């Protein structure tokens, strides 16, 4: 299975993940969905945050996420979208990130998806990578 297959068949196929990517801990995208564009600076900030939790926020593809939980290997976060009329924020889905030995898996999901369902899929994929030495 190619890295792109892990994105297309492992994360996107079920429809609960909107965008996904796999990148190396040392940087560099290994695979990504068509609309997922994680900059080098964002990759570095994610890895740095995983190495030194807790995080307050992260950026993925220019979108700002408020972290609800972060540890040495997982980040759970919610997208905050400012309301133009009153400046308040509303939820708009979230992002789950999993670090393995050599890679980072990023899965952005829409508000209709269950955070726990996405977390289970990302954790399973990450644990598989770990058993394979990645």
Q: What is the 3-state secondary structure (H, E, C) of the chain?
A: CCHHHHHHHHHHCCCCCCEEEEEECCCCEEEECCCCCCCHHHHHHHHHHHHCCCCCEEEECCEEEEEEEECCCEEEEEEEEECCCCCCEEEEEEEEEEECCCEEEEEEECCCCCHHHHHHHHHHHHHHHHHCCC
Q: What is the pLDDT of residue 89?
A: 47
Residue 49's contacts (CB-CB under 8 Å, 6 or more residues apart) are: 55, 58, 70, 75
pLDDT band at 1; cut points 50, 70, 90: confident
Q: Using the predicted structure, report yes or no on whether residue 26 has a pLDDT greater than 50.
A: yes
Listed range (15-19, 51-55, 114-118) with the worst mean pLDDT: 51-55
Q: Cα–Cα distance between 13 and 29 in angstroms, integer?
A: 20
Q: How does the average pLDDT of the chain come out, rounded? A: 92
**pLDDT above 70: residue 39:** yes
- Convert the pLDDT of each residue in 85-107 to its tens digit: 555 545 579 999 999 999 999 99
Q: Are 107 and 122 in contact (CB under 8 A)?
A: yes
Peptide bond into 124 cis (omega under 30): no
For residue 73, is pLDDT > 70?
Answer: yes
Judged against a pLDDT cut of 60, whether residue 56 lies above it is answered with yes
- Count of all residues that appear for the chain in the document: 134
- What mean pLDDT comes out for the span 43-59? 94
Contacts of 5 (CB under 8 A, 6+ apart): none
What are the phi and psi torsion angles at 19 (to 5°)? -140, 150
């Amino acid at each position: 299975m190619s890295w792109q297959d892990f994105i297309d068949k492992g994360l996107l196929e079920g429809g609960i993940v909107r965008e996904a990517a796999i990148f190396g801990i040392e940087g560099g995208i290994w695979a990504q969905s068509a609309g997922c564009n994680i900059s080098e600076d964002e990759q570095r900030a994610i890895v740095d945050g995983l190495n030194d939790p807790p995080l307050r926020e992260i950026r993925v593809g220019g979108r700002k996420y408020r972290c609800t939980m972060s540890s040495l290997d997982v980040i759970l976060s919610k997208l905050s979208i400012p309301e133009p009329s009153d400046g308040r924020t509303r939820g708009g889905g979230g992002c789950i990130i999993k670090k393995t030995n050599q890679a980072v898996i990023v899965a952005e999901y829409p508000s209709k998806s269950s955070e726990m369902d996405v977390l289970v899929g990302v954790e399973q994929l990450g644990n598989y990578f770990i058993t394979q030495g990645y």
